Amino acid sequence: MRKGLTALFLILISLSGQVLAQSRTIKGKVTAAEDGTPIIGATILAKGTNVGTVTNADGVYSLNVPDGVTALVVKFIGMKDVEAKINGTQVDVVLSQDVRTLTETVVTANAIRRDKRSLGYAAPTVKSDELTKGQSTSALNGLAGKVAGVNISSTASAPGSSSRIVLRGGSSISGNNQALMVVDGVPIDNTNIMGGGASATLAQDSRSSVDFGNRGNDINPDDIESISILKGPAAAALYGSRASNGALIITTKSGKKGAKQQITFNNATTFSRILKLPDFQNEFGQGYPQAGYPDGYHNDPKENWSWGKPFDGKSQEWGQEINGVRQSKPYSAIPDNVKDFFETGKAMNNNLSLSGSGDKTTYFLSLNALNSDGVMPGNYDKFNKYGIRFNGTAELNNKFSTSVNVNYTKINGDMVQGGQGPGSVYANVLGTPRDIPLSSLKNLDNPYASYGNTTNAAGNPTYGYYGAYTDNPYWVLREYRNLQNVDRMNGNFAITYKPTPWLDVVERLGADIYSDRRKFKYPKFRFEPADLTSGEYTLAQNIKTNNGKYEEDNYTLNEITHDLMITARKDFSKDFKASLMVGNNIRQRQFSISEVQTNTSGGLVVPGWYNLGNSNGPVQAVNDYNIRRLVGVYADLNLAYKSMLFLGATARNDWSSTLPKGNNSFFYPSVNGSFVFTELMKDSKIAQVLDYGKIRASWAQVGNDAPPYQLNTYYERTSINTGGFGVTLFPFNGIPGLMQSNNIGNPNLKPEITTAFEVGTELGFFDNRLTVDFSYYENRSKNQILNIPIPVVTGFSFKSINAGSIQNKGIELGLRGTPIRTSYGLTVELFGTYTRNRSEVKELLPGVNQVVIGGFGGMSIVAAVGKPYGTFYAQTLQTTPGGQVIVDEDTGLPLLTTLPQYLGSYNPDYQASLGTNISYKNWSFSALFDTKQGGVFFSKVKDDLAFFGASAETAEGHRLDHPFPNSVIEDPVGSGKYKTNTVNYGMIDYWTDLIPSGQHIVDASYVKLREASLSYRLPKSLLNKGPFGDVSIGLFGNNLFLWTPKSNKYVDPEVNSGGASNEQGLDFTAQPSLRNFGFNLKVSF
């Protein structure tokens, strides 16, 4: 009996123990190894059972694990499965990408991380290490050549210069065509406001531009974890009208959950030189042909022409005669005269970051300092940028979590004017005759290089610089200052509430606030020539005078973005899953402009005092304040079947304050789908070759509202264009004046609508050693909001209307392969892209064949019906159907077309890239070439050098008399019959006076070594006993080498005087681009 009771007691104890130990709750979080972000929808299984769950929107899970289970199996598509041992009640898991599969997670619209295989549209991602290999100070420039379908114009490639990014061609004829930039889920401003206009109302004038950069380049590339490029409207529909051109989804770095604290220091020291200078002639020097002078040439000492006699090397006097003495020099070429004017630029880019985590928190703090002194002599083109970023997350309890991202940027720069403005240094450098030693003009205390250092007998200040039509570029650089100060704060705060396992509520508030303050200091002077004895200079013609200018501009942005997103997820079965997100977006943007300057006619009263109180006449000011508000509601539905078939749909409706009440609501939908067909072939022989295969398709429609204040006609201050660069503003001589704007508003405007279609495929072969990504797309935008020219007899010049449409269609191809991967540590990867976009303006307003989008008198950049967007329209030479030039039978000079002609577009026929990544043990090497073929640009440098007689083409044939090359004479006129021309033409007449603007349209094709890098990572064995966790050193370069067609002997085709605007392909004596190279050191503790 006692034994029976004992046995029963033991059985009860055992059973009670089993009941008590039947299950236990395990909690944790699943994050991505590459960036520490939470992985949504990861599967958590108790090993050896069917018990499981999935992670929520924060990557968090909770699972009741049966007794006896000692490990969890964690899975997510595109990542390696992880078996995590259970040691306690908290098990956090970090998943890394599975290199054996093509699939990966992608950060998409509204910062939602999704499985790439589920996307029905192209969404390539560039990671941090790939973005920063070339150590470009611009994140946008760092994308060049790395993604198909992305067209980046990097202008000067200097710190603070502009960059333009367009995805799949421009969709708006007159509006913004750049991709939307989104940082950590919140859109940021990417405005580009050029400076250098003749007055405050002409702040942007490409003929005398000052490149103050675009605000998208404010972000520090070293802070970026990844950039996802959403190229089509289908990918960006959830961001509304501002994303009609696609979007760059930028995810910044953050602390890694469960990771120990890490401190990282990264230094890049960069040196810069001019990448491309024009080809100069070195046969002829200062002066021009004139009868009555020795050898028939006048060696005019005040000229900027190089149309003088052939070089003979003999000593001759030059410049002004001061106190009876002129300088002497050999009459010979100085081939590197222009090259030697520029110095080697230097830049230091230092980054320090701290990251780590606690039990329920993560943090990332970074400090950045970029200090640059450019290639101009002295310290007059400095650029400094400082930044601080903090990203943090916190789990408040089981249902609430928060995140905060804050960034502050401080910029101060001294920018140099380009173009033909009074402060253009480069224009004055190019205007130096081929025999004048520029270096001798550097010392501004030298009487022969100075301004105002000496006086004449009358007590008036004099100048000793030789040129009457140019100024000493060293003096211009010192005296004409364009200063910029920017303070910018942006970021967001989000709170997530999870009332149930299947429902998430996220509220996010973002802000982007900056103040861009500029000062322009242009000198007031009146200098008489010091030489009044040689007979070459006169007071009547050679006095240099300028009224001076002081201007203060302030551009202020305050943009608030609010999103409320509710997401529900439901697994109807293990094969069929669905999610639905509904959201509300409110965006308010306030932008103010204040441009105040001294009187444009009177200038300054006292030289050297740059103050608005020193205005010689009424201060002239422009104030503009605009506010726009957009309210939207949206939804995003996603369905998945067996991780093989995916369907997604979005819908959005916006109400815009810039459209009339009757037309201010616009709806736009999108649908996309993908089919991973290799899921059906897992056990077939095809799977031994084709590892991954997916086809995708999408259709979308996106609206785009109008700029502010287009609905009505407003009054503005009276201005009268006096021709050239001159503008007279009222009040004038005490007389006030207001006038109606020359643009008639339209209260019936409708939103622009872009409709897009895309199909594509993604393939992986041979254990994904070779991957292919191909897309075909068509986009068409209609109801373009245009300012159409109207007859001036109406009293107006333009009217705002909805008219016209533009189409883009093309193909994109991305290839990546690893032909070599050895067991001893050698890996060779090759990758490349190919993009071909065809743009066409389909229609405009009836009776209107083109709309001007840029250019100047004599040459326009237009949107013309039946032509690609951005076509050049200018007068050129008459030619036969066979391309021969028709000349005048008497003079031998070419005949000009009676009307302007279409001369090609700035859009390339195609662009491509080819790169490699090679690693061997601790060594890594990478290189990237990219090319744009086709397209043209206008070169004012070519124009100027031809006028000066300094370009190589003006000396072809040694300037001996000869007929115009490849020319014929129409005989008789009007017959269409031609005979060979034997009449010599006047070269100096043609190059300095007759040559039309169309002859300065140049082939824009190029091949560039975009970037290269070589790095070495110190072995861990050397670091074990020290404080360092990782140390790497390297060499790098970007924009390193350039190859252009023989017809382009002038500039880098990427330079542009229009900055990041739609006015592209315009070299109006733009600042030359830079070759950058240096070394870097990266250390972590």
* Contact between 53 and 63 (Cβ < 8 Å): yes
Q: Which residue has the tokens 């009836």?
A: 846
The model's pLDDT over 775-787, given as tens digits with 9 standing for 90+, comes to 999 999 998 888 8
CA angle 864, 867, 871 (to 5 degrees): 70
Return the number of other C-beta atoms located less than 10 Å from residue 588's C-beta.
15
pLDDT of residue 170: 81
**Helices and strands per DSSP (H, E), number in the chain:** 9, 63
pLDDT of residue 805: 92
User: Strand pairing partners for 825?
Assistant: none
Closest CA to 492 of 110, 1064, 1061, 963: 110
Block means of pLDDT (10 residues each) for the chain, length 1085 residues? 43 39 81 74 88 83 89 85 89 74 58 74 90 92 93 86 90 86 92 72 70 92 93 70 85 86 94 97 96 92 96 95 94 96 96 92 95 95 96 91 96 93 93 95 96 92 95 97 96 94 94 96 96 92 95 96 94 93 94 92 94 93 90 93 93 89 86 92 85 93 82 77 61 76 83 90 91 95 84 80 91 95 90 96 88 88 94 96 94 95 96 96 95 96 97 94 94 89 95 95 97 93 82 95 96 92 91 95 92
Question: Taken in order 473, 474, 476, 477, is the CA torsion positive or negative?
Answer: positive
* Contact between 1049 and 954 (Cβ < 8 Å): no
pLDDT of residue 99: 47
Per-position DSSP letters for 801-856, written without gaps between them: EE--EEEEEEEEEEEEEEEEE-TTSEEEEEEEEEEEEEEEEEE-STT--EEEEEEE
CA angle 636, 637, 642 (to 5 degrees): 140
CA dihedral 941, 947, 953, 955 (to 10 degrees): -140
pLDDT of residue 723: 54
Q: What is the rounded CA–CA span in Å between residue 1083 and residue 132?
A: 16
For the chain, report the end-to-end CA distance as a whole number of angstroms.
71
Q: How far is residue 689 from each of residues 330, 373, 692, measured CA to CA in Å?
A: 72, 54, 9
Closest CA to 308 of 332, 337, 280, 328: 332
- H or E stretch at 1022: helix 1020-1023
* Contact between 196 and 482 (Cβ < 8 Å): yes
List the strands of the sheet with 180-183, edge to edge: 125-127, 224-230, 247-252, 180-183, 186-188
- Judge if 22-95 and 141-254+268-274+346-421+475-523+549-597+608-711+746-870+906-935+1004-1084 fold alike in CATH terms: no
Q: Which residue has the tokens 């910018």?
A: 488
Residues with Cβ within 8 Å of 1070's Cβ and at least 6 positions away in sequence, in order, are: 155, 156, 209, 418, 419, 1051, 1055, 1056, 1057
* Contact between 358 and 340 (Cβ < 8 Å): no
Q: How far is residue 736 from each of residues 717, 719, 855, 892, 1066, measured CA to CA in Å?
A: 9, 11, 32, 54, 37
- H or E stretch at 233: helix 233-236
pLDDT of residue 727: 64
For 141-254+268-274+346-421+475-523+549-597+608-711+746-870+906-935+1004-1084, CATH gives: 2.40.170.20
Domain borders along the chain are 22-95, 141-254+268-274+346-421+475-523+549-597+608-711+746-870+906-935+1004-1084, 712-744
For 22-95, CATH gives: 2.60.40.1120
Closest CA to 65 of 42, 80, 48: 48
The model's pLDDT over 741-760, given as tens digits with 9 standing for 90+, comes to 778 888 888 888 889 999 99
Instruction: Decide the pairing of beta strands 525-529 and 461-463.
Output: parallel
Instruction: Decide the pairing of beta strands 345-357 and 361-373.
Output: antiparallel
pLDDT of residue 930: 96
Burial class (CB in 10 A: 0-12, 13-18, 19+), 772: middle
